[in-house]
């Protein structure tokens, strides 16, 4: 090993407090240091040239630079080393400015410490191995999982940038929850009016391939090089032939199946599209409820289908495809109210969730937009809303705030008052949270313009008697208990991640929080990237969000994904974990510590995937067998540094 | 009497905090020597014990605030590991005050300097670490 040491003056920044000449002289006592020099500005072109010349002249195999913080110029000097033909990882920096000349006034003390730091860097460089950044190719195709507004927006943005996108949706149509909504806060435009054009755009885009009624079954690989296995469930309808005329579902005799899209408030047939504007507008046969599939008779739909698109023998199609990036956009579902028996949700038809109200208010919904009580079809005169059902409840529900309920409850109140000005509306809340653009103004309009009565408090129990809902309630501001009644009660139930999110997270090997929302790589600085390189998060699958926030995150995720897709080659950081399989006992402890799931057990020894590893070193310092190490910060290097500093 | 202190600082927060102490020209004792690690979770207990064996009088580990770790969870692992180390030190009868864990962000240059001041004072009060330095025998050195 032939080491060169270069001491920078940084003008007078270093030189005023540190005796650079003394350091250059002292380090040469080390037999491996064959050259030492000082220079006023090493980072300047002249300084860098001096280093390059010295590397060549003295045939240096390691370089130590005593200068400012490596956070300033490590990359500069790595490039200098590369220019001189040295491996860029065989340079080390001793931070004698920020850690010495700028913080210690006493010249002797500062010089003494600077020498120690230089010796520590020499000790490190002696053990530095040449490291090589790897390269891997990028498949220029994106996989978006979940076809709600989040997935649609992400797919459109990526496609607009010119990359191919596969959009996989588990239900028969894209659109997600937003398709079920009536009007949307804070502007009250109709959800379908702003969503359906996007659904149509996604379907028509030449770069987007829709896979509805489909599921991702398996994912392998790493950033740039994922392979996914996708199952297209048998629709029993030939998508190429079907014209979407609707003759089949009009004739289908199996008519009494609760419609998922209408939250069970209306029925659908066995062959169906979930809603009139479904994309694609091609029905599926729900084989569990189809008479033909149950007992072989029927087949009416096939009889009436002019283009002969019905195919009872169709089978699931399974295919594999390669992708460079994957975006999770699996959204949410409404939390089950089973634990909240006191609200009589299961006992009274007139106690509904807010999402059910969206269907009852929707012009395309089961009542044509007329607000009717599910029990008797009468118009309710008084409606009571209860907010935070299941949200912010650590004992029975979710610890978090579902974020959207304050706003949609105000929206519901306003929408009802618009249609039925004489209706009386009462809202029980714990806190009203309206931090969004135009949100507080919107809520105040409900109170001030529409006369909605907000009560800070809770409802203890609901019981239906003779069609009237009786409630025992508490008003916390007045500090009193009171009884109240309503014709209809609407519960703002918490939202929670879709059930498919957890198996998907396991497939993608990307972490979720304890509440089953996908975890972001960094809560502040990397909010749309998952902890796994190449996997991005879009929409509510990452945490409760309204539509504006969902769309913003969807576009941000697309932007990050495009950042990967636009590259021809990915350069991998060589400072990653490496296993010595002779020492590894296969205990697997390192697997749990890795935040990026980069480690797997392969034939009894751990293996760290350099494309996934981010180089934190957690595994290396935990391994009980000393089998795991971290390039660039090896055990030997750190120990040598410790020794040099304590000498 | 001058004590020797080794400070392990994670690259993303605490090392940057130390840099900021420098840019802000905040003084702290020169016996503090910093070792840069990618994350506080890179600090192996072996590193800390080795420092004591080689004559350090105090070791401080600095990382990002909980929730701010560049690698999300690294500092939780560091905290867990040091908690175990403290039990071991108690068991061995070694002053646990010679080891300290502190969360220092990249914006906390002043906190970095103040923490180093306070830690040097704390370790100075304990005096030199004679006990473990003696473990470093010539035989041990040859075995390296
Ligand atoms: C009652 C109510 C009223 C609301 N009103 C408003 C409002 O007025 N204004 C507003 O801004 N926001 C409102 N919201 C919030 C809004 O619904 C959400 O912000 C938005 O729908 C989130 O979109 P998303 O795409 O993230 O999730 P989703 O809409 O849930 O879409 C997720 C999609 O992924 C699919 N999927 C799930 N798992 C898988 C899987 N494993 N594989 C493939 N596909 C899968 C689902 O079928 C679904 O189509 C309201 C919410 C509720 C409950
Ligand atoms: S912790 Fe060490 S010994 Fe255990 S599996 Fe990982 S590398 Fe192997
Ligand atoms: S260094 Fe960190 S990121 Fe890399 S394998 Fe180890 S624990 Fe995972
Ligand atoms: S990066 Fe600072 S503690 Fe992990």
Give the model confidence (pLDDT) of A50-70 as tens digits.
999 999 999 999 999 999 999
Q: If you average pLDDT over residues A602-613, what whole number do you get? A: 89
Q: Is the CB of A182 under 6 A from ligand 1?
A: no
Query: Which of A102, A109, A618, A631 best probes binding to B when mutated, by most B CB atoms within 10 angstroms?
Result: A618
Are B39 and A617 a contacting pair at CB < 8 A? yes
Whole-number pLDDT of residue B72: 83
pLDDT in tens, A324-347: 999 999 999 999 999 999 999 999
Query: Which of A94, A99, A107, A596 best probes binding to B when mutated, by most B CB atoms within 10 angstroms?
Result: A99
> Across the strands, what pairs with A384?
A426, A489
A592 touching B (Cβ < 8 Å): no
Measured CA to CA, the distance from residue A308 to residue A241 in angstroms comes to 7
CATH C-level class of A573-631: alpha beta
Q: Is the CB of A383 under 6 A from ligand 3?
A: no
Helices A107-127 and A635-646: crossing angle in degrees, nearest 10, is 150
> Is the peptide bond prior to A186 cis by the omega test (within 30 degrees of 0)?
yes
In this structure, whether the domain defined by A3-127 belongs to CATH 3.40.50 is answered with: yes
Are A616 and B19 a contacting pair at CB < 8 A? no
Select the more confidently predicted residue: A384 or B129.
A384
pLDDT in tens, A278-327: 999 999 999 999 999 999 889 999 999 999 999 999 999 999 999 999 99
* List of residues 6+ apart from B113 with CB closer than 8 A: A103, B21, B26, B27, B28
Nearest alpha carbon to residue A148 among A511, A557, A538: A538
A127 touching B (Cβ < 8 Å): no
Burial degree of A287 (CB within 10 A; 0-12, 13-18, 19+): middle
Burial degree of A246 (CB within 10 A; 0-12, 13-18, 19+): middle
The answer to whether B34 touches B9, Cβ cutoff 8 Å, is yes
| Cα–Cα separations (whole angstroms), residue A151 to A238, A331, A470, B132 | 25, 9, 42, 60
Q: Is the CB of A146 under 6 A from ligand 1?
A: yes
Q: If you average pLDDT over residues A563-588, what whole number do you get? A: 94
A69 touching B (Cβ < 8 Å): yes
Alpha helices for A207-252 (secondary structure H):
247-251
* DSSP string across A523-556: TTTEEEEESSTTEEE-GGGGS---HHHHHHHHHH
Residue A493 has pLDDT above 80, yes or no: yes
* List of residues 6+ apart from A589 with CB closer than 8 A: A622, A623, A624
Q: If you average pLDDT over residues A192-200, what whole number do you get? A: 96
Q: What's the gap in Å between B43 CA and the centre of ligand 3?
A: 13
Q: Looking at chain B, which residue has its C-alpha nearest residue A111?
A: B30
User: What phi, psi does A155 have (nearest 5°)?
Assistant: -60, -45
B18 touching A (Cβ < 8 Å): yes
Q: Is A351 helix (H, G, I), strand (E, B) or coil?
A: strand
Q: Looking at chain A, which residue has its C-alpha nearest residue B66?
A: A523
- Interface predicted TM-score (ipTM) of this complex, two decimals: 0.94
pLDDT in tens, B8-43: 999 999 999 999 999 999 999 999 999 999 999 999
At residue B139 the predicted structure's pLDDT band, cuts being 50, 70 and 90, is: very low
Distance from CA of A162 to the nearest CA of B (A): 32
Are B47 and A519 a contacting pair at CB < 8 A? no
Distance from CA of B39 to the nearest CA of A (A): 5
pLDDT in tens, A438-450: 999 999 999 999 9
Burial degree of B117 (CB within 10 A; 0-12, 13-18, 19+): middle
Which mutation among A230, A498, A536 tests ligand 1's pocket best, with the greatest number of atoms within 8 A of CB? A498
Domain residue ranges of chain B, discontinuous segments joined by +: 8-134
Q: What's the gap in Å between A596 CA and the centre of ligand 2?
A: 16
User: Residue A474: enclosing H or E segment and its boundaries?
Assistant: strand A468-475
Cα–Cα–Cα angle for A367, A496, A390, nearest 5°?
A: 80
Measured CA to CA, the distance from residue A239 to residue A543 in angstroms comes to 35
In this structure, whether the domain defined by A335-497 belongs to CATH 3.40.1170.60 is answered with: no
Q: Looking at chain B, which residue has its C-alpha nearest residue A117?
A: B33
Q: Which ligand is nearest to the CA of A533?
A: 3
> Across the strands, what pairs with A39?
A8
Measured CA to CA, the distance from residue A87 to residue A574 in angstroms comes to 12
pLDDT in tens, A471-483: 999 999 999 999 9
Identify all chain A residues contacting B43, using CB atoms and an 8 Å cutoff.
621
A95 touching B (Cβ < 8 Å): yes
Q: If you average pLDDT over residues A409-425, what whole number do you get? A: 97
Q: What's the gap in Å between A150 CA and the centre of ligand 1?
A: 8
* Percentage of residues in chain A having pLDDT higher than 70: 100
pLDDT in tens, A449-470: 999 999 999 999 999 999 999 9
Whole-number pLDDT of residue A65: 97
Whole-number pLDDT of residue A548: 96
| Cα–Cα separations (whole angstroms), residue B98 to A464, A622, B42, B94 | 68, 22, 20, 8
At residue B137 the predicted structure's pLDDT band, cuts being 50, 70 and 90, is: low
pLDDT in tens, B101-123: 999 999 899 999 999 999 999 99
Domain residue ranges of chain A, discontinuous segments joined by +: 3-127, 335-497, 573-631
Identify all chain A residues contacting B74, using CB atoms and an 8 Å cutoff.
595, 616, 618
Q: If you average pLDDT over residues A200-220, what whole number do you get? A: 97
Whole-number pLDDT of residue B134: 62
pLDDT in tens, A222-237: 899 999 999 999 999 9
Closest ligand 4 atom to the C-alpha of B13? 2
Whole-number pLDDT of residue A506: 86
Whole-number pLDDT of residue A604: 85
Q: Which ligand is nearest to the CA of A593?
A: 3
* Percentage of residues in chain A having pLDDT higher than 90: 93
Q: Which of B36, B41, B45 lies nearest to residue A618, judging by beta carbons?
A: B41
Mean pLDDT over the full length of chain A = 95
Are B42 and A630 a contacting pair at CB < 8 A? yes
What DSSP character marks residue A207? T
- Specify the residue with its C-alpha closest to ligand 1, atom 41: A500
Cα–Cα–Cα angle for A37, A39, A42, nearest 5°?
A: 110
pTM of the model: 0.80
Are A646 and B55 a contacting pair at CB < 8 A? yes
Are B42 and A633 a contacting pair at CB < 8 A? yes
């Amino acid at each position: 090993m032939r080491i060169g040491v270069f001491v920078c003056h940084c003008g007078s920044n270093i030189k005023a407090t540190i005796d650079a000449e003394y350091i250059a002289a002292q380090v040469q006592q080390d037999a491996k240091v064959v050259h030492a020099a000082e220079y006023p500005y090493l980072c300047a072109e002249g300084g860098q040239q001096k280093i390059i010349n010295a590397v060549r002249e003295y045939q240096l195999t390691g370089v130590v630079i005593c200068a400012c913080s490596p956070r300033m110029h490590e990359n500069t000097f790595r490039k200098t080393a590369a220019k001189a033909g040295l491996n860029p990882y065989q340079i080390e920096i001793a931070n004698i400015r920020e850690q010495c000349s700028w913080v210690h006034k006493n010249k002797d003390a500062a010089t003494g410490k600077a020498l120690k730091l230089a010796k520590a860097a020499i000790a490190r460089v002696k053990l530095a191995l040449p490291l090589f950044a790897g390269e891997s190719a990028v498949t220029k195709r994106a996989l978006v999982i979940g076809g709600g507004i989040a997935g649609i927006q992400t797919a459109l943005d990526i496609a607009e940038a010119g990359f191919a996108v596969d959009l996989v949706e588990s239900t028969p149509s894209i659109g997600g929850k937003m398709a079920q909504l009536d009007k949307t806060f804070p502007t009250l435009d109709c959800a379908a009016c702003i969503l359906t054009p996007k659904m149509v755009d996604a379907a028509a885009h030449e770069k987007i391939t829709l896979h509805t009624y489909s599921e991702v079954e398996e994912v392998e690989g790493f950033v740039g090089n994922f392979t996914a296995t996708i199952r297209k469930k048998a629709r029993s309808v030939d998508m190429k032939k079907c014209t979407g005329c609707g003759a089949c579902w009009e004739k289908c005799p199996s008519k009494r199946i609760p419609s998922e899209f209408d939250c069970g408030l209306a029925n659908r047939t066995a062959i169906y599209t979930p809603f009139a504007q479904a994309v694609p507008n091609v029905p599926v046969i729900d084989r569990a409820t189809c008479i033909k599939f149950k007992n072989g008779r029927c087949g009416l739909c096939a009889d009436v289908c002019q283009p002969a698109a019905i195919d009872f023998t169709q089978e699931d199609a399974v295919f594999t495809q390669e992708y460079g990036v994957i975006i999770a956009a699996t959204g949410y579902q409404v939390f089950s109210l089973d634990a909240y028996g006191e609200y009589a949700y299961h006992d009274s038809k007139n106690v509904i969730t807010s999402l059910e109200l969206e269907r009852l208010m929707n012009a395309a919904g089961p009542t044509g937009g007329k607000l009717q009580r599910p029990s008797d079809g009468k118009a309710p005169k008084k409606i009571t809303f209860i907010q935070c059902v299941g949200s912010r409840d650590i004992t029975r529900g979710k610890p978090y705030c579902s974020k959207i309920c304050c706003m949609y409850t105000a929206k519901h109140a306003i929408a009802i008052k618009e249609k039925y000005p004489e209706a009386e509306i009462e809202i029980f809340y714990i806190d009203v949270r309206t931090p969004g653009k135009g949100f507080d103004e919107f809520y105040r309009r409900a109170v001030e313009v529409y006369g909605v009565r907000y009560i800070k408090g809770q409802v203890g129990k609901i019981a239906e008697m003779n069609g009237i809902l009786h409630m025992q309630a508490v008003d916390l501001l007045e500090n009193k208990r009171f009884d109240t009644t309503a014709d209809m009660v609407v519960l703002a139930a918490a939202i929670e991640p879709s059930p498919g999110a957890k198996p998907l997270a396991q497939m993608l090997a990307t972490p979720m929080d304890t509440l089953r929302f996908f975890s972001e790589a960094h809560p502040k600085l990397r909010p749309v990237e998952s902890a796994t390189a190449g996997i991005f998060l879009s929409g509510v699958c990452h945490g409760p969000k309204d539509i504006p926030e969902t769309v913003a995150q969807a576009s941000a995720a697309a932007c990050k994904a495009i950042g990967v897709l636009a590259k021809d080659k990915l350069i991998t950081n060589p400072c990653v974990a490496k296993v010595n399989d002779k020492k590894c006992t296969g205990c697997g402890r390192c697997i749990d510590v890795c935040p990026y799931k980069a480690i797997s057990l392969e034939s009894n020894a751990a293996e760290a995937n350099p494309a996934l590893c981010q180089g934190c070193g957690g595994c290396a310092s935990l391994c009980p067998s000393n089998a795991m190490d971290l390039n660039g910060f090896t055990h030997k290097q750190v120990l040598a540094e410790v020794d040099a500093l304590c000498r | 009497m001058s004590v020797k202190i080794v400070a392990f600082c994670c690259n993303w927060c605490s090392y940057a905090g130390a840099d900021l102490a420098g840019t802000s020209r905040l003084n702290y004792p020169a016996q503090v020597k910093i070792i840069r690690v990618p994350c506080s979770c890179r600090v192996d207990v072996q590193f800390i014990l080795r420092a004591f064996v080689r004559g350090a009088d105090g070791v401080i580990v600095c990382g990002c605030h909980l929730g701010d770790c560049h690698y999300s969870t690294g500092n939780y692992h560091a905290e867990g590991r040091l908690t175990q180390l403290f039990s071991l030190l108690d068991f061995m009868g070694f002053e646990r005050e010679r080891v300290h864990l502190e969360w220092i962000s990249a914006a906390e240059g002043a906190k970095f300097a103040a923490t180093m001041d306070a830690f040097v004072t704390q370790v100075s009060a304990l005096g030199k670490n004679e006990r473990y330095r003696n473990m470093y025998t010539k035989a041990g050195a040859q075995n390296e």
